[in-house]
A and B are shown apart, each in its own frame.
Chain A
């Protein structure tokens, strides 16, 4: 990735570019002005720094104590000089302040078109993932935007503080539980899923030549803080929380067309929700590596199965409905039943019965969709690849 950056970073007034030694790619309407402001401050600072330290080194070399040589006399104050070096830097600072404040106000005040409801994307941060709710009600964990279309983000958090930071856009805004914050952006550079995920000739899914734009949580939120970021997941062969910008109109974005719950089986819908609501961030499937929460696997849900809770209580499943109710309660009242050995960190979700039913269908058999009434899991290798392709289609 490093070689993708050119090293011509120190150009004072540059056009939009691929990224520099100091900065990531410039992919939004704010990026060029932010980087130029930074560059201007950098050069002014460097000038002062070199001047002050140059003079210091020169004095140290010149007036080094040799052979007990005493200090010479010179005035111990000089009002005009001191006033000069107080007032001149102040004037430079005023310019910096004004430049920064103007750039900032532009970031804070969305244009009319972005303010419209149909251009507002709701961002919900939770431990430990992101949800984007589109104007048509679609929910995903991927951010899809249209090139040159200003959008407004209406930001909130479910549990703790988080911060919505997309480095290529130079935007950042805290996600504060209990209140809404907002920011806006016009993406100016495209980045499509096909550039970031490729399929080899043998049909394997691989990381593409480019990376999506990076969404990262910038406010410490706990154990999974550093997993709330755009990252290639080798185990699922997909990007977690990618930010894509399409060369399409906003209404043509895939998120508006790609998933209709009525067209799929409950299990497929459940799988979709499991990814879209970010459950996948904390719960691994099967015997995969342990994440923050308990793993889910088909043979974990049997009548007679037992769960111990951190408050000392336990439950033994005595019927199919007991299992369904247990999963349902664990989701909608997440802090009530915490499995022993796991932290009490799951955010509260309030799903309607339909969504919950689909999620339960998936969670009870997460490795593969049950093919028939006998819960005999089908060939796992085959389903794995079909999972991967189906999640590809989702994108």
Chain B
């Protein structure tokens, strides 16, 4: 097929049906095996969870406006911060990028019809629903108050719904494992001819690394949850010293999963940023190999640093010093990625589209999040900062300033692809700006009150910290408004947005070779595997209001058209 024909087919006029309109009715969604529909169902689900946990966060912040009690009693406060953390981590952040965006994007980026195991994929979604159901049960019955970490022996003693919540975590864990397994197999076996490992988009490297962690680490969490349940139900003494157990053992088990889980959250975010920076600057990504290798390095090193969550737990000094050293080693690959992203901007053609605004704020916020990890990895300073608001601010800068911002950036980037509609760019930018400002006003003061000694998880606090808490609360409200605007912009685009072209941003990855939204089988033709970051053969075409491949000088050229071997 000639390029010209393909061009017409791809970008000229939309095909008659796409994956959204291909079949109708509830059943066609609930029983779908289409990775795109599963991705969208995941998206709706995780956004629901995000709204719920976000409302909890706002209520907490408003309560903290004054040092004494305003409207939440101690117990209600504890339950609310527990559910905020647990829902955000287990139900929202962990599945957000891999399961919602990744499910949609990964097969299309590979030029494939679907993931390797579509049924497993659907099962993963239903497991997510099941796990979330148990979380909701634990919320409405006798709301959990252990903190999202379930530390023993408190989690053995409390009368709240620990069993329901750990069951939820257990099931959600399997959902996560299924997704991870699916992605590993898909990337290994379904890459199109010509796409070698080092010609994969960096998003795929990131999702692949994430999937490795999901498959290897999550079973430990599942076992830990089971042991905790066994301890509560049949009094098996594992963690509770009253039964002869060891509470610190629980912390080891828990963080052996939950530290790698931090990278389940941030690695795919880094993958998104690699895409966004390159596409919206129309510039080949700088240092592809280093970014790709650093994803794998982070995935492997993430298994070796869990002990840094336990620097004050009474572990031996030797162990603590070793964990501190290993912790510093994770800082390097993260820093390398940031340097590479900034270097990519050099001599680019930078468009401040909404996704790019999020990508740039990611670099800023992740910079703060990463650098404030240094005094936490440094032992003598960590002893003071441990379990204070400094830590709270640090991980919110990484998880919200990093993962959530990247998730939003990715959502705005792939939204036209998902729904075939362009959103209001100006509205999107305003949303991004407010999110950025609100986020900083919320969390920056928390660093200062943390280093001044404000412990975390306090329902009441010393009046000395009030000014910082008040700033933080005001910031949270701004952040909330920013997110509402972002949501409004996206939702209204579905009704009022103009039709999206196949390639609105000038991306060279394969998902922008199919039409927007993609058809049921994604591609109507064999994909042409190019360098994912070579933008020289793509140009803007006013007729379709999007980007199309440049017509090469010799009109007839056979597809597929793999790259010359020396380009990596």
Contact = CB atoms under 8 A, between A and B. Distances in A.
A71 B533 CA distance: 12
Interface string A208-228: 000000101111111111110
Interface string A43-75: 001001100110110011001110011111110
Nearest to A99: B378
Given A41-B378, A77-B288, A172 B384 contact: yes
Interface size class of A (residues with CB under 8 A): 35 or more
B345 A63 contact: yes
A223 B154 contact: no
Contacts of A225: 74, 78, 457-459
B54 interface: no
Given A23-B452, A100-B378, A53 B364 contact: yes
12 contacts: A24-B453, A38-B375, A53-B364, A56-B364, A85-B339, A89-B335, A161-B154, A163-B387, A165-B387, A168-B453, A219-B387, A222-B145
Contacts of B338: 52
A101 B342 contact: no
B484 interface: no
Contacts of B247: 161, 176-178
Contacts of A60: 345, 350, 352, 360
A216 B455 contact: yes
B383 A170 contact: yes
Interface string B462-501: 1110010000000000000000000000000000000000
Nearest to B283: A71
A361 interface: no
A137 interface: no
A22 B344 CA distance: 36
B332 A101 contact: no
A217 B462 CA distance: 13
* Main secondary structure on A side of the interface with B: mixed
B419 interface: no
Interface string B364-386: 10011001101101111111101
Given A53-B363, A56-B363, A97-B328, A30 B346 contact: no
A86 B331 CA distance: 10
Interface size class of B (residues with CB under 8 A): 35 or more
Interface stretch (A104-112, A143-151, A245-253): A104-112
Closest 5 CB pairs of A and B: A178-B241, A103-B380, A167-B453, A100-B378, A104-B379
A224 B463 CA distance: 18
Interface-central residue, B158, B314, B352, by most chain A CB under 10 Å: B314
Contacts of A38: 375, 381, 384, 451
B457 A177 contact: no
Given A76-B286, A220-B154, A229 B462 contact: yes
B377 A100 contact: yes
A247 B320 CA distance: 35
A302 B128 CA distance: 56
B231 to A, nearest CB: 14
A11 interface: no
Interface-central residue, B285, B338, B346, by most chain A CB under 10 Å: B346
A171 interface: yes
B535 interface: yes
A135 interface: no
Contacts of A300: none
Contact of B371 (A24, A48, A106, A343): A48
A159 interface: yes
A107 B281 contact: no
B383 A174 contact: no
Nearest to A60: B350
Interface of B: 74-75, 78, 145, 147, 151, 153-154, 157-159, 241-242, 245-248, 281-290, 312-314, 317, 320-321, 324-325, 328, 331-332, 335-336, 338-340, 342-343, 345-352, 360, 363-364, 367-368, 371-372, 374-375, 377-384, 386-388, 448, 451-453, 455-464, 467, 533, 535, 540
Contacts of B342: 52, 55-56, 59
Contacts of B282: 65, 70-71
Contact of B381 (A41, A48, A181): A41
A224 to B, nearest CB: 7
A387 interface: no
A76 B331 CA distance: 23
A275 interface: no
Given A30-B380, A178-B245, A218-B387, 17 more contacts: A22-B452, A45-B374, A59-B350, A63-B281, A64-B351, A65-B351, A74-B347, A78-B287, A96-B328, A104-B317, A109-B317, A161-B154, A216-B453, A220-B151, A222-B154, A226-B457, A344-B159
Contacts of A45: 371-372, 374
Given A104-B320, A226-B74, A63 B346 contact: yes
A116 B64 CA distance: 44
Given A76-B287, A104-B379, A63 B371 contact: no
B388 A34 contact: no
Contact of B339 (A52, A65, A97): A52
Contact of A100 (B241, B284, B288, B380): B380
A37 interface: yes
A33 interface: yes
A74 B153 CA distance: 58
A2 B375 CA distance: 24
Contacts of B289: 77
Contact of B347 (A72, A106, A217): A72
A90 B379 contact: no
B378 A223 contact: no
A13 interface: no
Given A60-B345, A96-B378, A22 B387 contact: no
